[in-house]
Chains A and B, each alone.
Chain A
Amino acid sequence: MKRVNEVTEELESMGSILAGMSHTMPFSLPAGYFEQNSVDLAGRIFVGQPVAAGDLRDTISTLELHSRAMPHAVPEGYFQQLASSALAAAIADPVFTAPKTLPYGVPAGYFDSLPQQVLNTVRQPLQSGVASKPITTKRIPLPPAFTQVRWAVAAVLLVCITLGGYISFFSGGQTGTESELASVTKEELQDYLQHSYVMDVNRIVYTNDINQLEVDTKDIEQYLNETGWDIVD
């Protein structure tokens, strides 16, 4: 009940027409009940405090005389007609009559049979044996001689792996790349560097404007000395 109010209040706070659902109570009351019993109701509020009925009646009538009258004018018979006209307007509003029940139909007995249907569906894989069949492993019998030597084979393999690891990581020998470089002669290295150097200079000259290169005179002299060119003063 609280939640329904929350939803309605929320819609009202948005000023939504969706909040305009029927909130009238269906229970009936004796005619003039609230008017006639106002003093009795007020008296019940002061439970445990002896208040004379005459005093309370006087107090209420005094308050009504002095404070309830409003200065604004209202068309004659406005409040008598207000309830019926508001109700008529609300009924004319389509949303007022919109029930929260959905207009869709459901086949007869659908909800009664659904649990069994679902249960049958989830049982199917079990009955067909697909899901319930345990995964088994086939054991291959080995000859008795093999079973006796298998521990010896395993031990030999373990020793080989250990030795291999030791030689690779702890022998202190040069790695493959280093030993390869060590075998290259000095002449071969010089040829390689000179060739690369020449190639590099050619690339610079052909792909750049030589005048834009910021090359120092000393660098040029050094280059010419290294490449066998004579420097002419």
Chain B
Amino acid sequence: MPGTADQIDDHMLVASFRDEKLKETAFTQLVRKYQERLYWHIRRMVVEHEDANDILQNVFIKVWNNLGQFRSESNLYTWLYRIGTNETLTWIEQQKRRASVSLSGDNEEMFSERLAAQKDFDSSKIEWKLQQAIHALPEKQRIVFNLRYYDEMPYEEMSNVLDTSVGALKASYHHAVKKVEAFLVGN
């Protein structure tokens, strides 16, 4: 999570981006700074690298197009996560629609198949079981769980990313933890 120095860096990046001469350099720095965090945020949701890459590129294209109008009083880090989350949820909705049209199966099955198709997948290993448990959660609950458990994001920041109250997020995380536990114990 960004500290004060990080936020100053972000302000500098945004200011540099608004300068035509520095725009590309600032953008490259911004991508380098946030690419891994955003990548894993997306990858944890969509599983496949190719899909995560496509979504991430779309996220950065949106950042390129809108960073000039970004209001510096809000947190750049939160703004990026918000774009990443929205793009990911949109992609999942598209996949759901395709699945319902082609009658190829439901959404949960799709993700469990994707997990099973991953290199080095081993259903007996705890890290893969945990992923299976997480993918059995509804999308928004999964995002809340991932942001809290893996990214260790404070609820206040999560509230800005997901546009949901802190209380609702706490309740959602609590339910998610119980479901993950139940899955791990049951499997």
A contacts, CB < 8 Å to B? 3-4, 6-7, 10-11, 14, 16-18, 94-95, 97-107, 110-111, 114-119, 121-122
Give every chain B residue within 8 A of A3 (Cβ-Cβ): 1, 152, 154
- Flag if A18 contacts B126 (CB, 8 Å): no
B131 nearest CB neighbor, chain A only: A103
User: When chains A and B are docked, how far (Å) is the Cα of A115 from the Cα of B38?
Assistant: 13
Q: How far is the CA of A11 from the CA of B47 in the complex (A)?
A: 25
Q: At the interface, yes or no: B174 with Cβ under 8 Å from chain A?
A: yes
Residues from chain A with Cβ under 8 Å of B184 in the complex? 17, 94-95
Contacts A102-B43, A103-B118, A111-B36: A122 and B126 contacting too (C-beta < 8 A)? no
Q: Which residues of B contact A18 (CB under 8 A)?
A: 149, 177, 180-181
Query: Are A118 and B119 in contact, with the CB atoms below 8 A?
Result: no
List the count of A-B residue pairs having beta carbons below 8 Å apart: 95
* A14 contact from B24, B28, B174, Cβ within 8 A: B174
A122 to B30, CA, bound (A): 14
Is the pair A121, B57 in contact by a Cβ cutoff of 8 Å? yes
Q: Does B77 contact A (CB under 8 A)?
A: no
Shortest Cβ distance from A3 into B: residue: B152
For B31, list chain A residues within 8 Å (CB): 114-115, 118-119
Partner of A119, one of B24, B36, B121, B148: B24
Name 5 A/B residue pairs within 8 A (Cβ), A-sorted.
A17-B185, A98-B127, A102-B44, A117-B57, A122-B60
Closest to B154 in A: A3
Answer whether residue B165 sits at the interface, using C-beta atoms and an 8 A cutoff.
no
In whole Å, how far is A106's beta carbon from the nearest beta carbon of chain B? 6
Please tell me which one of the listed residues A10, A100, A105, A110 contacts residue B150 in the complex, with CB atoms under 8 A apart: A100
Contact of B137 with A by CB under 8 A:
no
- When A and B form their complex, which 9 residue pairs have the shortest distance between CB atoms, in order from nearest? A115-B31, A94-B126, A118-B60, A98-B126, A122-B64, A103-B127, A115-B28, A3-B152, A16-B177
Q: Which B residues form the contact surface with A (CB < 8 A)?
A: 1, 24, 27-28, 31-32, 35-36, 39-40, 43-44, 47, 49, 53, 56-57, 60-61, 64-65, 118-121, 125-131, 148-150, 152, 154, 173-174, 177-178, 180-181, 184-185
Rounded to whole Å, the gap between the CB of B49 and the closest CB of chain A is: 6
Shortest CB-to-CB span from B86 to chain A, Å, is: 18
List chain B residues, Cβ under 8 A from A121: 57, 61
Give Cα distance in the complex from A119 to B127, angstroms.
35
Q: Cβ of B181: which chain A residues have Cβ within 8 Å of it?
A: 16-18
**Which of A18, A100, A103, A106 has the most C-beta atoms of chain B within 10 angstroms of its own C-beta?**
A103
A100 partner residues in chain B, CB cutoff 8 A: 149-150
Please, which residue of chain B has its CB at the minimum distance from the CB of A106? B49
Closest CB of chain B to A13's CB: distance in Å? 10
Q: Give, as a whole number of angstroms, the nearest-CB distance from A102 to chain B.
A: 7
- Expressed in whole angstroms, the minimum distance between the Cβ of B83 and any Cβ of chain A is 13
Question: Contacts of B130 on A, CB cut-off 8 Å?
Answer: 95, 98
Contacting residues, chain B, for A111 (C-beta < 8 A): 32, 35-36, 39
Give the residue name and chain of the B residue nearest to A105 (CB).
Answer: B119
A29 to B148, CA, bound (A): 34
From B124, which residue of chain A is reached at the shortest CB distance?
Answer: A94
